[in-house]
Amino acid sequence: MIVVTKWTGRTAAALQDALHETNEGFAELLGAAPRTVAGWHSNPDLVPRSEMQQALATIYERASEHVRRRFSLLSRPPEEPTQAQALRVAIAVVLRGDQVLLVCRRGDDALSWQFPAGMCKPGAAVSSVAVQETHAETGVHCSVREELGTRVHPKTGVLASYVLCDYLAGEATNRDTVENTDVTWVPLAALTRFIPTENIFPPILSALEAA
What does each of the 211 residues of the chain score in pLDDT, given as a tens digit?
Answer: 577 889 998 999 999 988 999 989 899 999 988 888 888 888 888 899 899 999 999 999 998 988 888 888 887 765 544 444 568 899 999 999 999 999 999 876 678 899 999 999 888 899 999 999 999 999 999 999 999 999 988 777 889 999 999 999 999 999 998 889 999 999 999 999 999 999 899 999 999 987 7
Q: What is the pLDDT of residue 111?
A: 81
Predicted TM-score (pTM) of the model is 0.60
Alpha-carbon distance of 201 to 71, in angstroms, equals: 28
Q: Among candidates 166, 170, 154, 167, which has minimal Cα distance to 202?
A: 154
CA 192 to chain centre: 22
Q: What is the pLDDT of residue 84?
A: 46
Q: What is the pLDDT of residue 164?
A: 97
CB-based contacts of 54: which residues, under 8 Å, 6+ apart? none
Query: Cβ distance 155 to 116 under 8 Å?
Result: no
Query: Cβ distance 183 to 102 under 8 Å?
Result: yes
Q: Among candidates 73, 100, 76, 86, which has minimal Cα distance to 166?
A: 100
CB atoms within 10 A of CB 45: 8
Query: Cβ distance 108 to 78 under 8 Å?
Result: no
Q: What is the pLDDT of residue 158?
A: 86
Q: What is the pLDDT of residue 77?
A: 64
Give the residue ranges of DSSP H helices in 31-124: 34-42, 50-62, 65-74
